[in-house]
Chain A
Amino acid sequence: MTIQANSTAANTVSANTGPAPVSAPDQVTAPPGGIGDSAPRPDGILKVTGQFAYGSDLWMDGMLWGATLRSPHPSARITSVSIGEALATPGVHAVLTHADVPGTNRCGLEHADQPVLAEDVVRYQGEPVALVAADHPEIARLAARKIRVEYDVLEPVTDPVAAMAPGAPRVQPDGNLVRHLKLRKGSPDASAPVVVSGDYRVGMQDQAFLGPEAGLAVPDGAGGVDLYVATQWLHVDQRQVCAALGLPLERVRLTLAGVGGAFGGREDLSMHVHACLLALHTGKPVKMSYNREESFFGHVHRHPATMHYEHGAAADGRLVYVKATIVLDGGAYASSTPAVVGNAGTMGIGPYVVPNVHVDAYGVYTNNPPCGAMRGFGSVQAAFAHEAQMDKLAAALRMDPVELRCLNGMSLGAQAPTGQVIDSPAPVAELLRLVQRRPMPQSRQLPSRQLPSRHIQSRQIPSRQEQQANPASQPAPQPELLDLPGGAGNTTHGEGVRRGVGYAVAYKNVGFSEGFDDYSVARVRLEVSAGEPTVAVHTAAAEVGQGLVTIEQQICRTELGVRNVVTHPKDTSVGSGGSTSASRQTYVTGGAIQAACQKVRDRLFALAQYRLGHTVADLRLADGHVVSASADIVVSIAELLGNQVIEETVQWRHRPTYPVDPETGQGFAHVQYAFAAHRAVVDVDTELGLVKVVELACAQDVGKALNPDAVLGQIHGGSAQGLGLAVMEEIQVTDGRIRNPSFTDYLIPTILDMPPMHVDVLEYADPHSPYGVRGVGEPPTISSGPAIAAAIRAATGLELGRIPIKPEHLTGTA
């Protein structure tokens, strides 16, 4: 990795855009493990030794196991439910239906439109209908199958475009349109000498987090319940669970169990209410843990998209207009579809400056599996289309695709299609140049044996003359089978293989947008423990694997100069940490912790001055001590504090955003934008349609890398999920039914599918964020897939308007 810092970038931002970034305080000399260090994870040893307790690892004496009966039909009326046989099964303690939901039988992130348990209709295959609690998970599953549900099966609504037509059958009582975002900028009638258009489709991607949906509900014996659960946002869960249980907030306490990845798929409820219902009904602890098949039905997915784009440019390549229609299939319930539509629309043309923009983005109800949050959240789908369009436009203009992007790319001060001025660094061209200038990976060496006749000439394969020029005494090295398309399948030794190179750049809004009150609460406590100053930091912000717990410690070390920092378990006894999504936690919860630490520091200094009896101007914190050069003071925090405890709780907000105009989409919608670019190099076996991604190079601006290793981990992992969407990952849905709910049939990248990755990290501080940080997690997921798709197009000459790109699309056999 190379990290390039440019502290002057922030200074070029005009003065009216807010305060300068708060850097590491000059009042503190941080001990090792502060911000900027690749500090080790506090949960690392537990994780490598198998001791870390994930949701599915929880266990209590006498606990029961819960199971869920789900609808086999994407659309049906329930005519009867009979639980008698199931309830009579030995070992079964409870069988519950919607009639047993004591509160409001509705949940949902933005609209409470989804029953906790189905009432008279089911709207998607896998919708929960009934619950069982039993002594053993297999007894619970078998008993669930004994629940007799009679269905009147209906024709499902499965085409989102048809679902928008007047008179289409209604999935929800108020119609099938979840949201229509209109983005209007400049003239609707703009014309241009060079015009390209295209139709694009994106398949349904799964988050495929490895840790299944799981948790343990423990009744408190007084009508309340404690829920230990793997989730992304404890407080939004608590609100929904309480509504369904008909209990006040203080009777339902949530604690974060270990989370085995999330990627958006844990933003909605899964087993939360179900386990609590069973626990309160039986008076016993109840554990629920989905298996992989149930997981595919138990969480929302990435919205499939159907898109049409038209780009117009001047002869010199400058974009004149972009028109786009984006239809996102939200499935049966709203989940976060309104916000996904907002992103897909407002970010829909990519990080380019365009004077005339006309975008319509729609989110639609169908009887397909519900879709909601997944890493990249609306930008992923749009980026596949706008980046394909930029390549198509470059070809029409006979321009280099990187030059075209650099010519039109956003920079500081650019105006987004919403009219919002980008008031922090936006180094689109620089990111593209960084990946462009990387040395190319070596071409494949061919085997020295004679090639089969089906070999076709291509760029990376030496000609026969070149082979003959190779002295027989120095045979070319054998290519590693694993490096070729098809790998160990031994499907080619290089024949029929063509190389392609593709580029993409993308951006993502960070944090919650469009006027959402996006805040986080942090409680920081300083006290003396075993003679040492110790900081305890308590937030409800979910650690899902990304390393927020490490960042929390690092900020405390930097702000308070104390080595020993412990993170309190995440729970609802402190205020909301907001969602672990939208690449927002380091920014927002990080900001809250920084602010709380500053208050603690102020009180510590006040205490020091009180003890001294006079004011000292240059008090500082250095490795557990309060010091002053002018007053020649060195006093340990331990000595100063004694038995006293300093505790501060801060609710912290980023600067406000605002709703966009409903007719034009104009407005200050997003608090921050984050940018990434990729170059992909691929080899394609054009005869079999097999793809090997040879190398990925990524450049991303992260503002400030608080933990460089963790930043790299996010970029590597995000790039891998984009690769998966480009070439292999799709939930296949036919007539509303999922055909591949398993890791046997839904493929995610393995270590053999992932190429070596080179990452360049830029650190252009955002003047509005704590330490200048910029959200990291999502951008690489957005740009890697389009770069790979572009590389495959370059290798094959095919148009390829749909991802994932599968062998049949490359061989003409689709």
Chain B
Amino acid sequence: MRVTATVNGQTRQADDVWEGESLLFVLRERLGLPGSKNACEQGECGSCTVYLDDVPVCACLVAAGQASGRSIVTVEGLASGTDLHPVQQAFLWTGAVQCGFCTPGLIVAAHDLLTRTPGPTDSQIREALAGNLCRCTGYEKILDAVRLAARQMTGDAE
């Protein structure tokens, strides 16, 4: 089948999509956007988190056909040219990136949290990111990153 969708603001089309393919597979293998990651492919790890019409979803759990005609934003679509989004910058500044395989999903999830809740408490951060597994960092510096990004985005930078 053919799947046409708006991806990171551009109309994209994938042909010969097998009906069983996930949105994640189409993004990674057919549209050249491997930023969304394939750690579990069953909705447990959050590494493939993308926006589907402004709602964060696990792209591995969305059938490719379900994305037809809709708007998708991936981690590749968050920076403005070479200017990183404050969430991306904060992950770098705080040392929240190690192997980085969880990072794209966490950045989209944190981006969503800070869009909805500009000054989150630690509990709100933990709850919002509870669906994103990280095996390297123990999450300490991820909390630091989200706190820093929150300050940057609300103009409360120290």
Contacts and interface: CB of A to CB of B under 8 A. Distances in A.
Interface of A: 38, 40-41, 43-45, 47-54, 56-57, 59, 136, 138, 207-212, 258-263, 289, 291-292, 480, 482-483, 488, 544-547, 709-710, 712-713, 716-721, 742-744, 748-752, 754, 756-757
A713 B103 contact: no
A720 B142 CA distance: 13
A742 B129 CA distance: 20
B42 interface: yes
Contacts, number: 182
A292 B123 CA distance: 29
B117 interface: no
B120 interface: no
Interface string B22-57: 000000110011111111111011010000000000
B143 interface: yes
A757 B138 CA distance: 9
B83 to A, nearest CB: 11
Given A751-B139, A751-B143, 19 more contacts: A38-B95, A44-B91, A44-B97, A49-B35, A54-B37, A209-B135, A211-B39, A212-B39, A292-B40, A482-B127, A545-B100, A545-B136, A716-B138, A716-B139, A721-B135, A742-B40, A750-B131, A750-B133, A752-B130
Contacts of A756: 140
| Chain A interface SS verdict (over half) | loop
Interface in B90-118: 91-92, 94-95, 97-104, 107
A210 B140 contact: no
Interface in B130-158: 130-143
Question: By CB atoms of chain A within 10 A, which of B29, B76, B78 has the most?
Answer: B29
B42 A292 contact: yes
Given A138-B18, A480-B123, A289 B38 contact: yes
A47 B18 contact: no
B110 to A, nearest CB: 11
Given A48-B84, A49-B84, A292 B41 contact: yes
Contacts of A483: 123
Interface of B: 18, 20-21, 28-29, 32-42, 44-45, 47, 74-76, 78-79, 84, 88-89, 91-92, 94-95, 97-104, 107, 123, 125-127, 129-143
A190 B12 CA distance: 77
A379 to B, nearest CB: 19
Contacts of B139: 716, 720, 749-751, 754
A209 B102 CA distance: 10
B40 A743 contact: yes
Contacts of A754: 138-140
Contact of B34 (A48, A57, A207, A208): A57
A751 B134 CA distance: 8
A98 to B, nearest CB: 29
Q: Which of A48, A49, A54, A709 has most chain B Cβ within 10 Å? A: A48
Contacts of B36: 50
14 contacts: A44-B92, A45-B92, A49-B78, A49-B79, A136-B18, A210-B39, A210-B134, A260-B39, A292-B40, A713-B141, A716-B139, A720-B137, A743-B40, A750-B139
Given A544-B99, A545-B100, A752 B126 contact: yes
A483 B121 CA distance: 13
B100 to A, nearest CB: 3
B35 to A, nearest CB: 2
B31 to A, nearest CB: 11
Given A50-B35, A59-B29, A546-B98, A45 B84 contact: yes
Nearest to A263: B135
B84 A717 contact: no
Contacts of A291: 38, 41
Nearest to A744: B44
Given A48-B107, A261-B136, A751-B139, A292 B95 contact: no
Contacts of B38: 56, 212, 289, 291
A50 B84 contact: no
A53 B133 contact: no
Contact of B42 (A208, A718, A742, A749): A742
Contacts of A547: 98
Contacts of A262: 99
B126 A210 contact: no
Contacts of B32: 59
A716 to B, nearest CB: 3
B42 A743 contact: yes
A54 B99 CA distance: 10
Contacts of A546: 98
Contacts of B94: 709
Given A211-B99, A720-B138, A748 B28 contact: no
A53 B40 contact: no
Nearest to A488: B127
Contacts of A752: 126-127, 130
A545 B138 CA distance: 13
A624 to B, nearest CB: 25
A208 B99 CA distance: 13
Nearest to B94: A709
A50 B104 contact: yes
